[in-house]
Amino acid sequence: MNNLILSTHIENLLVARNPRGMQTLQAALVPGYYLRAAQLLLSAKGTVLIGTGFPVAGTYETDGPVGAIALYRVLETLGTTPVLVCGAPLADAIASDFRVHKISVGEPAVSRVEAKNALHHYQPSLVISIERPGMAADGKYYNMRGEDISSACASFDYFLRTASCPTIGIGDGGNEIGMGNVADTLAQLNIIPSATCCDELLIADVSNWAAHGLIAMLSVLREQDMLLGWDNLATLQYLSARGSVDGVSRKNSLTEDSLGSDISEKLIKDLRKLGGFC
């Protein structure tokens, strides 16, 4: 099959469960968004910034960081220098194992300057946001329950709003950075939506899955199985040992949005099959 058809198959697979209405948003997107995003990864040079970390119950959830780490590893393989951008406690938990740029939590007044300074310092060729809370139209941040979580958020929005390079937003509910691209359609969902836009929006039933879908598409373009050897459970164990919680149950468990790692592992196998690698 050609790459556009493959991208469409990936797009359909990643919203097949549809727990939070992502099929509704899919109808508002131009097909081929995984292909276009994978091409952005291929053309990236130098530094790539990856923002992640959604605050839940005083810590961070597993959805987002797992996918960010997967993208980080692949981007290193591509020869770029990925940097994870996040706030505490995630930034402190993983700083000894990854390149991390820490941003302030609960200080919106400094977020624009922080972004400007970081963009000037790193001169990224690509900025990616995966499961980062997106600023709503009123300037605040909300979780899927409609609770104001602004005081717990480190703002990553201005990294995408002011970047001079391409940007990718990844989300699974409507309140994440990038969802401003489909603002009109989001009115159909029970969510206080993000107003922040991006160049290419990727959606999935679980944001981590979007990272795997993007890597699957990239694998075909590179003619190399870049999902081979990915250990989803080990990554969840790594994060759990450092204080992560499931975003739905709010418990320290080896799950992503209440789904066991075996569900993700099957999805990854299905993605590899789509690409012709197994």
Average pLDDT over residues 20-39: 97
Residue 262 lies in a domain: yes
**In this structure, is residue 278 part of a structural domain?**
no
Can you tell me the mean pLDDT for 21-46? Answer: 97
CA–CA gap between residue 47 and residue 101 (Å, rounded): 12
CA angle in degrees (0–180, nearest 5) for 228-229-234:
140
Is 10 a domain residue? Answer: yes
* 257: exposed, middle or buried (Cβ count in 10 Å: 0-12, 13-18, 19+): buried
Residue 109 is predicted with a pLDDT of: 82
Residue 212 located in a structural domain = yes
Q: Find the CATH number of the domain harbouring 124.
A: 3.90.1640.20
In a domain, 75, yes or no: yes
Is residue 9 a part of any domain in this protein? yes
pLDDT of 1 > 80? The answer is no
In a domain, 173, yes or no: yes
Q: Say if 277 falls within a structural domain.
A: no
Query: Among residues of the chain, what percentage have pLDDT more than 70?
Result: 100
Examine the pLDDT at 255 and tell me if it is beyond 80: yes
Domain count, the chain: 1
**Is residue 128 within 8 Å of 201, Cβ to Cβ?**
no
> Whole-prediction pTM value?
0.98
Domain boundaries, position 41? 3-272
Contacts 24+ apart (CB under 8 A), 223-228: 225/272, 225/275, 225/277, 225/278, 226/74, 226/77, 227/268, 227/271, 227/272, 227/277, 228/272, 228/277
CA angle 116/121/125 to nearest 5° reads: 90
Residues 111-160: tens digit of each pLDDT: 999 999 999 999 999 999 999 999 999 999 999 999 999 999 999 999 99
Q: Is residue 154 classed as helix, strand or coil in its secondary structure?
A: strand
